[in-house]
Amino acid sequence: MSKYLIVMIGPTAIGKTALSIKIANYFNTEILSADSRQFYKEMFIGTAVPSPEELHNAQHHFIQHISIHDKYTVGDFEKDAIECLKTIFIKHNVAVMVGGSGLYIDAVTKGLDSFPEIDPKVRLELNIELEQKGLSALANKLKTLDPQAYDIIEIDNPHRVIRALEVTIGSSQPYSDFLNNPKPKRNFEIIKIGLTAERPIIYNRINERVDQMMNSGLLNEAKLLLPHKHLNALNTVGYKELFAYLEGETDLEFAISEIKKNTRRFAKRQLTWFRKDDSIEWFDYKTDTNIILEFIKSKINE
């Protein structure tokens, strides 16, 4: 019998976690997280890690499994996730993967793109430029050199921006040109389910989630992580804004509004990434779970 990976996709705060658990329970199987922010054991509130009850309701993989001090690339995740799926498929015909990190989902479902070797000096120079001029200067450079890459990568992630720029500059060819090469064929079938809503609803859910995070102790979590703010894992929405507040650069009200604004921008980029994938079957976030399950079963029985 064929093996199936059901992939739950959608913008942040849309309800992917709850639905993925229902689907995993229906098929009596396990869940792989493809949310790169949830990999780190030191980060809990700001990354919306599933609650202890949710983790108890279904077996999860790649939730808080590494440290912010560890080097862990999308290539590492691809290799680990494929090995994890091999183990799951010994016991089950279906597995579930859920997350909003498009690059990490594509790594598992499509395989990674291959890039040419780049002179390390290019990255060194870009890192110096990052320190001297800031991320916005590098992002604008990428927008000029490769607007297609600018539209699809996490533009507030310095690692992603520098990677796109170093390939573009070092190869004299746009980073985005390397994203359409043939990929390895997976030995399992893939069913992609997307959850969405009208943009005002998505934005309102994001604002409410940020308020919930603050009420749950996100500021205290940021205080504990402040000594490590230089780490790439912590240069992310929800933490960097509070670091600025804790260092006296802004007031708390402004920091919270920046978290909401930057999270809304992140959701917009997520949707831009996912909308390019015609294989995703989209459902409104309020759709009854049974309707989505019927769709999945119809794809399995084709």
Q: Which amino acid does the sequence have at 14?
A: I
Give the phi and the psi of residue 120 in degrees, each rounded to 5. Answer: -55, -25
pLDDT value at position 224? 98
pLDDT value at position 296? 98
Largest CA distance in the chain: 60
Closest CA to 241 of 201, 205, 210: 210
Q: What is the pLDDT of residues 206-238, one digit of tens each?
A: 999 999 999 999 999 999 999 999 998 999 999
pLDDT value at position 186? 92
**Which superfamily, per CATH, for 4-112+184-212+277-300?**
P-loop containing nucleotide triphosphate hydrolases (3.40.50.300)
Q: Report how far apart, in Å, the C-alpha atoms of 123 and of each of 126, 158, 205, 230, 231 are.
A: 5, 12, 38, 17, 17
Report, as ranges of residue numbers, the positions in the chain whose pLDDT lies below 50.
none
pLDDT value at position 227? 97
pLDDT value at position 117? 87
Q: Is 86 annotated as a binding residue?
A: no
Q: Is 13 annotated as a binding residue?
A: yes
pLDDT value at position 155? 86
Domain locations in the chain as residue ranges: 4-112+184-212+277-300, 120-180
Q: Is 118 annotated as a binding residue?
A: no
Q: Is 12 annotated as a binding residue?
A: yes
Could you tell me the pTM of the whole model?
0.83
DSSP sequence for 86-137 = HHHHHH-SEEEEE-S-HHHHHHHHT-PPP-----HHHHHHHHHHHHHH-HHH
Q: Is 47 annotated as a binding residue?
A: no
Q: Is 236 annotated as a binding residue?
A: no
Q: Is 168 annotated as a binding residue?
A: no
Q: Is 16 annotated as a binding residue?
A: yes
CATH of region 120-180, choose from 1.10.760.10, 3.40.50.720, 1.10.20.140, 3.30.420.40: 1.10.20.140
Helix (H, G, I), strand (E, B) or coil at 77: helix
